[in-house]
Chain A
Amino acid sequence: MSSTFQSDAFMQRLAKRHAAEKRFRLLGLGAIVLSLGFLALLLFIMLKNGLAGIDWQFLSGSDSTEASVAGVWGAAKGSLLTMIVTLAISFPLGVCAAIYLEEFAPRTRWIEWVEVSINNLAAVPSIIFGLLGLAVFINTFQMPRSAPLVGGLTLALMTMPVIVISGRNAIKAVPPSIRDAALAVGASEVQTVFHHVLPLALPGILTGTIIGMARALGETAPLLMIGMRAFVASPPDGFTDPSTVLPMQIFLWSDEIDRAFVVNTSAAIIVLLVFLMAMNGLAIYLRNKFEVRW
């Protein structure tokens, strides 16, 4: 009876199957190595081209037609102002919406529509948000073009669904026993949520918020639509001043014919990536440090 599995034919076949197994495994490893190799190549080329361009002049200057005096501070300040607007709007709205949808919303058709909306907004191409910003904020409400206010509003609409989704997941992860405990001592439902559920969900919400903000910080296309490509020779002073943002500065410099701007572009990319990695690192730190596994 055991002969079937000890026959030569079976053994030869087995050897072939093991070879196939090995090939498949190598293929998987190769895919990862190739993907990460690409990342390494990208980082290497940016560092090689840009590292020399990072000096005080570059970090403190604003845009210029002269590559050697152009700097990123103006764009970075524009990014900062824009991010402040984005955060100030998307965070409270996102958290409120997440709380409502997860804790209080009745299961009605209306709410279903809200949920479908949020899930889809999270996947709508960013350039569409730019068209929305252009049509609504600039053409309808006559807000100033190129301003951090409008850029921030546009990015806030884009970031909010991300915050809502991560917020809901964080709230969902808080075990019902905590709610039961609070309700059992006579807290109202609103008190239960604000005193007990929300604090426990906050690290998760913050992680999601940082990731959403990092995405907004790297976003270019929607801001192109609302004209945030101003030539900014001095840093913007307020939310309505014409300004540009870091990724936009990269885009503008990449278009310069002067080869000297390759250094500036790559250096600006390094600056942007440092910011983004710091934000993502913070998110990972928060997740590891505060998120309790229930």
Chain B
Amino acid sequence: MLIAVVLAVVAGLGLIGWYTARAKARLLYTGRGSMRATANYHGLHLALWIAIPALIAFAVWTAVSPGLVNEAVLADPAAQMLPASDMERASILAEARAVASDPSTVAFNPLANRLAEPMRSAQTQFGFIGIALVLICALAGGGYAWTRIRADFPARSRVERGIMLLLLAASLIAILTTVGIVASLVFETALFFRDVSPWSFLTGTHWSPGNAIGADIDDNFGAVPLFWGTIYIGAIIAMIIAIPLGLMSAIYLTQYADAKVRRWTKPALEILAGVPTVVYGYFAALTIAPAIRDFAASLGYQNPSTESALAAGLVMGVMIIPFVSSMADDSIAAVPRAMSDGSLAMGATRSETIKKVVLPAALPGIVAGVMLAVSRAIGETMIVVMAAGATARLTADPLASMTTVTYQIVQMLTGDQEFDSPKTLSAFALGLVLFIVTLILNIIALRVVKRFREAYE
């Protein structure tokens, strides 16, 4: 709630500043051409000078104060009893923090209860310091801007420069996010590779992190069965469903359907794309998987499992259909009409024209679309979590239960493991692999699409 209070205070100060500065600037007005900027811009200038320093101060303070609070708590006599290990210390402090914010929580470690009191007082103390800092920055900024309110002050261009900086900062968030993803994945993965060699992780064929203790830890983190399961479900089974259905839908919609059919079918396909994956996952688990199990039983399988690669892959394929269809739609639409006219004018039928002229011309775009679809399918989580299974195995049997990278990431991070165990860290290593693979697919696909578009423009 501190955030809300601070934001409200800053907004209030800014509003007051804007109003008073505007009023002051109006008094300076002596006639046409007497001022370099309108009064409103003087007001905005002052408001920006109040808000931006205050918000920067607040952001910095939010980032550093937890560390300061921790140090203050560690200086407390009770903290002398804390264990030396950084990891245990951190977990006790985290518990103390929980108790401090909500006294009804019962801490697992008694020491945490004793530290809760100093924690709370340190938090209050530093909270006040933070608020004071924010106020000082706001007032200092406002004061500076107040002295600038003069007839010859170019308030508008200053304000615009400030706005420009804000816009730039907003666009840098994207880079920051990317850097954040890469940094956090790489950092945790590096920790993981202290315990497990990258080689045995990437090439090992045995995955059972549950048994991973002691010297043979390397042998239990072989991720190949996970990679195989991911590829088998996402890039093979799902694509066998999605590519023909998506492509044929797009062909029908662009080449055959009249406007009326298109008007109804396209939004319907969009609904198919908008259904949340958890719904697909539940549908797979509730309806498709049992049907496939019964089918397997009728084929004479002994104890077929309810979870199967086929169930997950099939539903995932359906989920991807609209995606493939809309990518194919775009690519086909980008093929110049003159090209299909050329074929039709020679007496080719519609389907001959599509198969021999339109599709080959649209192929780069379609291939790129399929790559994006694969990237989406292998990153898909909920369907496999709910329908694919937990067993890591290397098999080509679609009726077998199979696990995937995303399933294991979820498996390793839900539950109450401590954060630094190899098991938890393995999730980040898997995440890094997933990120790199999808990144490569995306970059190639986006390049191909771009070049394809340029070719026909």
Contacts and interface: CB of A to CB of B under 8 A. Distances in A.
Interface of A: 17-18, 20-21, 24-25, 27-32, 34-36, 38-39, 41-42, 45-46, 49, 92-94, 96-97, 99-101, 104-105, 111, 113-114, 116-121, 123-129, 131-132, 134-136, 139, 141-142, 144, 157, 160-161, 164, 188-190, 214-215, 217-221, 224-225, 227, 229, 238-240, 247-248, 250-251, 254, 262, 265-266, 269, 272-273, 276-277, 280, 284
Interface of B: 1, 62-63, 66, 94, 97, 101, 156-157, 160, 163-164, 166-175, 177-178, 180-181, 184-185, 187-188, 244-249, 251-253, 255-256, 265, 267-272, 274-283, 285-287, 318, 321-322, 325, 349-352, 354-355, 372, 375-376, 378-382, 385-386, 406, 409-410, 413-414, 419, 427-428, 431, 434-435, 438-439, 442-443, 446
Given A28-B252, A96-B170, A221 B381 contact: yes
Q: 5 smallest A-B Cβ distances: which pairs? A: A125-B379, A218-B276, A28-B252, A96-B170, A135-B184
A121 B178 contact: yes
Nearest to A28: B252
A36 B435 contact: no
B249 to A, nearest CB: 5
A96 B178 CA distance: 18
Contacts of A227: 414
Contacts of A189: 160
Given A32-B249, A127-B406, A269 B282 contact: yes
A243 to B, nearest CB: 14
Contacts of B409: 127, 131, 225
18 contacts: A31-B246, A39-B271, A42-B283, A111-B171, A120-B439, A123-B375, A125-B379, A128-B438, A131-B428, A134-B413, A141-B66, A218-B276, A220-B381, A239-B1, A240-B101, A251-B278, A254-B282, A276-B274
B178 A117 contact: yes
Nearest to B173: A93
B272 A218 contact: no
Given A142-B97, A214-B274, A224-B414, A272 B349 contact: no
B349 A20 contact: yes
A131 B435 CA distance: 11
Interface SS of B by simple majority: helix
Contacts of B268: 36, 39
A114 B350 contact: no
Nearest to A279: B274
A125 B174 contact: no
A43 B131 CA distance: 52
Interface SS of A by simple majority: helix
A36 B248 CA distance: 13
Contacts of A164: 171, 174
Contacts of A277: 271, 274
B276 A25 contact: no
B174 A160 contact: yes
B222 to A, nearest CB: 21
B435 A124 contact: yes
Contacts of B269: 32, 35-36
A145 B402 CA distance: 30
Given A100-B164, A120-B446, A125-B438, 13 more contacts: A28-B248, A35-B318, A35-B322, A46-B283, A97-B174, A100-B170, A128-B379, A129-B181, A135-B185, A218-B279, A220-B276, A250-B278, A250-B282
A124 B438 contact: yes
A120 B167 CA distance: 20
Contacts of A121: 174, 177-178
A187 B327 CA distance: 40
Query: Which of B247, B355, B413 has the most A CB atoms < 10 Å from its CB?
Result: B413
B185 A131 contact: yes
B345 to A, nearest CB: 15
Contacts of B414: 224, 227, 229
A224 B249 CA distance: 34
B174 A126 contact: no
B321 A35 contact: yes
B272 A39 contact: yes
Given A32-B252, A139-B419, A20 B177 contact: no
B155 to A, nearest CB: 12
Contact of B167 (A96, A144, A221): A96
A35 B174 contact: no
Nearest to A242: B102
Contacts of B271: 39, 277, 280
Given A17-B352, A21-B350, A280-B270, A218 B170 contact: no
A8 to B, nearest CB: 18
Contacts of B386: 251, 254
Contacts of B180: 132, 136
